Amino acid sequence: MTKLHYKEQVTKNVILELGDDSVWTFEEALKKWWMVPRSDRGLRLTEAGDLAFRYAKIEFFNFGFTIVETSNWHSFILELNKKIRCPYYIGVNKNDGGSRSPYIRLYDSKIALLINLYGNINEYLDSIKVRS
């Protein structure tokens, strides 16, 4: 038996947590829950993945964010994929006035605590050095 990668282990554990309520097979969940199903890529969840995690009652923490002027959406997502080492979901809250505010939902209390200590997600990402 081969050792499961982190993404595969998380998927398996969430399916177990869903129990008999789960309509997902392991293979389907890997394809549908993750933006990039490959086990060696980022841990960004799709809408279906976020919903499955919430049904499984996995603890999460939401943080609002803005993209720094020196960055763009694509480079921000690449940075998240490299530096956020827990499952996360990016969503948008629609406000009454028609404006939208993006948020990131993290499924890890340690990383959430660190973001709070740094003040925001951008400061936290700037503090992380990625090993090659």
Q: Indicate the domain borders of the chain.
A: 6-55, 61-127
Inform me whether the pLDDT recorded for 128 exceeds 90. Answer: no
Residue pLDDT, tens place only, 44-99: 999 999 999 999 999 999 999 887 666 788 888 888 999 999 999 999 988 777 77
- Mean pLDDT to the nearest integer, 20-48: 88
Which percentage of the chain shows pLDDT scores above 90? 58
Q: 64-94: string of b/e by CB count within 10 Å (b at 16+)?
A: ebeeeeeeeeeebeebbeebbeebbbbeeee
More confident position, 22 or 72: 72
Scanning the structure block, which residue is given the tokens 């993209």?
67
CA distance 85 to 112: 11
Under DSSP, the state recorded for 87 is -
Inform me whether the pLDDT recorded for 2 exceeds 70. Answer: no
pTM given for the model: 0.87
What is the pLDDT at residue 1?
47
The torsion of the CA quartet 77, 81, 84, 87, rounded to 10 degrees, works out to 100
**Residue 56, helix vs strand vs coil:** coil
What is the pLDDT at residue 132?
52
Q: How confident is the model at residue 131 (pLDDT cuts 50, 70, 90)?
A: low
